[in-house]
Amino acid sequence: MKLQFALATKNFSLRNRRAPRLLYKMETVRSIPTRIFEDTETAFAHLSDADLYRAKWLFTLVGNPSLVQAGSALANTALRLRLPVSFLFRLTVYNHFCGGETLPDCRKVIDMLAGRHVGVMLNYGVELKETEEDFEASVSENLRAIKFAGENETVKTVCIKLTGLGPFVLFEKMNNGETLTRQELRELSQVKKRFHRLCKEAAAAQVSLYVDAEESWIQNALDNIVEEFMREYNRTFAVVCNTFQLYRHDRLAYLQQQITEARQGRYLLGAKLVRGAYMEKERERAEALGYPSPIHADKKAVDRDFDKAVLMCLENLEVVNVCIASHSEASNLYAMKKMDEMNLPRHHPHVWFSQLYGMGDHITFNQARLGFNATKYLPYGPVRDVIPYLIRRAQENTSVAGQTGRELSLIQKEIARRKKH
């Protein structure tokens, strides 16, 4: 059945609920088939046969742990020695996982995604900021990204890291409750000034800023800042959103507390739900320094908390704007079915789904086809500067049990399907 479908308003106002704009015509399926994510024709419709073979080759490569380990070490050395390795990355991982070197370069990918009813979360993928000039450069680039997002209907969000706005050691000291020196107080004031500039621009452009969650030993400091800014900016829509890492055993209680505070303070809580990217690092540090690990003992407990967090957000949508950021088929299916069960519109302006560009296409494009608010997290930036992000993607695809195997088997399935037709 073909129905007119509203993707949703770009943003949602607590006070001024605007009628959703009709953006796309698409197929709407009433009930969600349990095997929806096995539809590889929908998942890979945007890829030519040549693209598919390239993706197959890539996931076969990153599925080999020794190759990824050796490749990462070599890449890091080449970066340190400033060897010209950009072309190698462009040939392999860059085009698969990134939108382009500049914002206009991303337009092709953004248009392709828009054509398939998928929105974009932009991320300037340059990491490892250390100096005041770096922090200022990061603000300038993110201001450009916000402006660009404001001018592009399907770009909903810009993702930032607070460690891109100020020194890591400052956040670490704040996290430990240490007294800051005069110089550090000045640095903190600079961080907040930079964050205010971004938030003001985002509020004016009707764009949301999603703040990434990072290591637990700086996260309380980051949370305190994000909370302060949410209270100030999230009065009419979720200008600022925090990230909740459900691999931490204290995050469900924190989410509940944040929902209560948002309700009492009459502002909107922006909540990106993730499992968490720093498990090994967290465990190693906890063991080395002799404190209990903040991470759940096993994956089952993480999965349970993630789905509980999804439900908690869905039950409080009048004060929560949630982004379910995961490649887990089970968690995505759980959220989608729950929304239907609760009679929530699939294009509810407070519920978003997101996967990284280059991964989880079987989830993203099938969600979009069913009328859910599907988005891709799209990094961009000069090839050389995005290499650390790419190395992490390759390592993640090797270390996350089953993820590469899953991507590869879906690609193989689609190649076989196309051969038959």
Binding residue for ligand FAD (CB under 6 A) from 109, 274, 317, 322? 274
Which of 138, 316, 354, 367 touches ligand FAD (CB under 6 A)? 354
- Residues 203-262 binding ligand FAD (CB under 6 A) are 212-213, 243, 245, 247
Residues 6+ apart with CB under 8 A from 23: 5, 6, 7, 117, 153, 154
The alpha carbons of the chain give a radius of gyration, in whole angstroms, of 21
- In the bound state with ligand FAD, the residue whose beta carbon lies nearer, of 275 and 346, is 275
Count H helices, E strands: the chain?
Answer: 17, 10
Give me the helices (H) in 317-382, please. 329-341, 361-369
**Identity of the residue, 40 or 243, whose beta carbon is nearer to ligand FAD in the bound complex:** 243
**Cβ-based nearer residue to ligand FAD, 49 or 280:** 280
Applying CB under 6 A, does 406 fall inside the site for ligand FAD?
Answer: no
Q: What is the DSSP string of 5-61?
A: E----SS--SSS-PPPP--EEEE--SS--TTGGG-HHHHTTTS-HHHHHHHHHHHHH
326 binds ligand FAD, rule: CB under 6 A: yes
403 binds ligand FAD, rule: CB under 6 A: yes
Kindly tell me which of 21 and 281 has the beta carbon lying closer to ligand FAD: 281
Nearer to ligand FAD (CB atom), residue 181 or residue 409: 409
Which is closer to ligand FAD, CB of 265 or CB of 388?
388
Smallest distance, ligand FAD to C-beta of residue 418, A: 27
In a 3-state reduction of DSSP, which class is residue 370? coil
The verdict on 362 binding ligand FAD (CB under 6 A) reads no
For the bound state, the minimum distance from the C-beta of residue 246 to ligand FAD, rounded and expressed in Å, comes to 8
In the region spanning residues 365 to 394, those forming contacts with ligand FAD, defined by CB under 6 A, are 377
> Counting contacts by CB under 6 A, is residue 404 touching ligand FAD?
no
What residues from 277 to 296 belong to the interface with ligand FAD (CB under 6 A)? 277-279, 295-296
Nearest to 390 by CA among 168, 129, 58, 153: 58
338: left (phi over 0), alpha (psi -120 to 50) or beta: alpha
> Contact 46/364 with Cβ under 8 angstroms?
no
Q: Does 123 bind ligand FAD (CB under 6 A)?
A: no
* Residues 6+ positions from 406 with CB-CB distance below 8 Å: none
Closest distance of CB 420 from ligand FAD, Å = 30
E strand or H helix at 279, and its extent?
Answer: helix 279-289
Is the Cβ of residue 138 or residue 243 nearer to ligand FAD in the bound state? 243
CB-based contact 347:7 (threshold 8 Å): yes
Q: Which helix (H) or strand (E) holds 2?
A: strand 2-5
Q: Kindly list the residues in this chain that would bind ligand FAD in the complex (CB under 6 A).
A: 212-213, 243, 245, 247, 274-279, 295-296, 298-299, 302, 325-328, 354-356, 377, 400, 403
